[in-house]
A and B are shown apart, each in its own frame.
Chain A
Amino acid sequence: GENVEQHPSTLSVQEGDSAVIKCTYSDSASNYFPWYKQELGKRPQLIIDIRSNVGEKKDQRIAVTLNKTAKHFSLHITETQPEDSAVYFCAASIQTSYDKVIFGPGTSLSVIP
């Protein structure tokens, strides 16, 4: 079945450094790739998403890149701040549906002041 892998499972960076989280997916028909952030004790929230017709998307300090040939996509956070500390989940849509996605196992990011 469809599968999304995510690495690393945990990541610690110094404040101000960059953080990169990588995901791979198995369904070549996937065309929508959202990223969710879940702070401790809170609900997941969408932070950025990308569709298969673009290779990169940026929103302030956050960017996502997509390589459809290799079936992998990455989240890049620059100038990290302590409030970036959270669990980040990548996801990939099932076949050509945008609505249903499969989530990766998550990456726990710690930004050390």
Chain B
Amino acid sequence: GAGVSQSPSNKVTEKGKDVELRCDPISGHTALYWYRQSLGQGLEFLIYFQGNSAPDKSGLPSDRFSAERTGGSVSTLTIQRTQQEDSAVYLCASSGQGNFEQYFGPGTRLTVT
């Protein structure tokens, strides 16, 4: 079946602009995660959605970052007033209830100029 998809694959934006990154999880997966990966670095947890529960936003680095998940499926990560340090690959993952393997999307490479 289809895996996790993300769009756009690449995004170049000017400092100060807002950006929206989209994630389509695997159908039926109740858990959805956003991570940030800077060049050569690890996976920095940003936010986690699980079913209808309130999201775990403990990893969001500042109030410029927000995310929502509509209808328990598609998620959008929004970064307002982008800064150069926001440049990274943003990875989305999903997992199904009872199966804890996280399936990652291909990522969105964000470059802030």
Contacts and interface: CB of A to CB of B under 8 A. Distances in A.
Interface in B1-54: 31, 33, 35, 41-43, 45, 48, 50
Interface string B86-106: 000001000100001110111
Contact of B45 (A46, A102, A105): A102
A49 B104 CA distance: 16
For chain A, the bracket of interface size reads 10 to 19
A21 B107 CA distance: 26
11 contacts: A43-B104, A44-B104, A45-B104, A46-B101, A99-B100, A100-B33, A100-B45, A100-B48, A104-B42, A106-B41, A106-B43
Given A32-B100, A34-B102, A44-B91, 17 more contacts: A34-B101, A36-B102, A43-B91, A43-B104, A43-B105, A43-B106, A44-B104, A45-B104, A46-B102, A49-B100, A99-B31, A99-B48, A100-B45, A102-B45, A103-B43, A105-B42, A106-B42
A100 B57 CA distance: 12
B76 to A, nearest CB: 19
A58 B35 CA distance: 28
Contacts of B43: 44, 89, 103, 106
Nearest to A45: B104
Given A99-B31, A99-B50, A106-B42, A49 B107 contact: no
Given A32-B100, A49-B100, A103 B105 contact: no
B95 A99 contact: yes
B107 A43 contact: yes
B2 to A, nearest CB: 14
Contacts of B100: 32, 34, 49, 93, 98-99
